[in-house]
Amino acid sequence: MRRNEMNHNLQEYADVIRYDEENKGTYELATILKMCKLSEGPVLDAATGTGRIAIPLAQEGYDVVGVDLHQGMLDHAAQKSAELNLDIAWQQADCEELPGDNKFQLVSMVGNAFQHFLTNDSQSRLLQSFHRVLKPGGICIFDTRFPLADEIFQPDELLVDHKYTCADGRVCEVAYQSSYDAVSQIQRYKTVRTYYVNDQMDSEDTTYIDLRYTFPQELVRLMDASGFELLHMWGGWKEQPLTGKSISIVIAARKR
């Protein structure tokens, strides 16, 4: 996605502390490490955010470059890696124009970041960028949400999804509203976060994000057209088979 197309979606990532509070865990790591061992060498973590996967990859001894469009997230990632004495190169760049031709043995992209690439052209440019920076035989691995009917055809009303306690002690109530355009395969999400102190409303903020859903056979064709041999198409990061009830698609593919 080009910078001007991404500006709208960056609303959701403006607060890096909140992002870390809401995006914990490294459940993707075991599978990514398995792919790393198939193709030993430098790793590029695309759409790295605050380094949720890049940092543990570096802790495992890999030479890691983390790339993101959002400078604020990169700054926070750099602070976290410095505190751990990890040498990670953090670079601001469009993922459609990744740095380092034929340099990396693996490109990872997690957190369903693939859904930020809203058009056929932007998806193709992204995968061509992966292909360009990978060494011959290098591997890319990424995920995207499975387009379940229950996921894309949600009621067009604001519904509370969950609550959590922030680091500052406030309780955050998170509510979503979504609408799906079946022609473009894009779902627009409205997220309303309401913060409470001692059961009293303290503040509220609203963000919007557009996400593209891509169907499995589209992905098969897209990987082939982008110069990749499809190695795996799993139904999640536990490497389970993809079924009609899966909630995630995980793609692992090798550069031809």
143-196 residue pLDDT tens:
999 999 888 888 889 999 999 999 999 999 999 999 999 999 999 999 999 999
Between helices 216-225 and 120-133, what is the axis angle to 10°? 50
How confident is residue 208, by pLDDT bands cut at 50, 70 and 90?
Answer: very high
Residue range 208-223: average pLDDT? 98
- Alpha-carbon distance of 68 to 70, in angstroms, equals 6
pLDDT at 4 over 80: no
pLDDT at 2 over 70: no
Question: What's the mean per-residue pLDDT of the chain?
Answer: 94
> Of 209, 220, 149, 207, which is closest to residue 182 (Cα–Cα)?
149
When comparing pLDDT for 60 and 151, which is higher? 60
pTM of the model: 0.93
Residue 95, amino acid: C
Query: Domain 3-147+214-255 is in which class?
Result: alpha beta
pLDDT of 1 reads: 46
Where does residue 251 fall: left (phi above 0), alpha (psi -120 to 50 degrees), or beta otherwise? Answer: beta
The proportion of the chain whose per-residue pLDDT surpasses 70, expressed as a percent, equals: 97
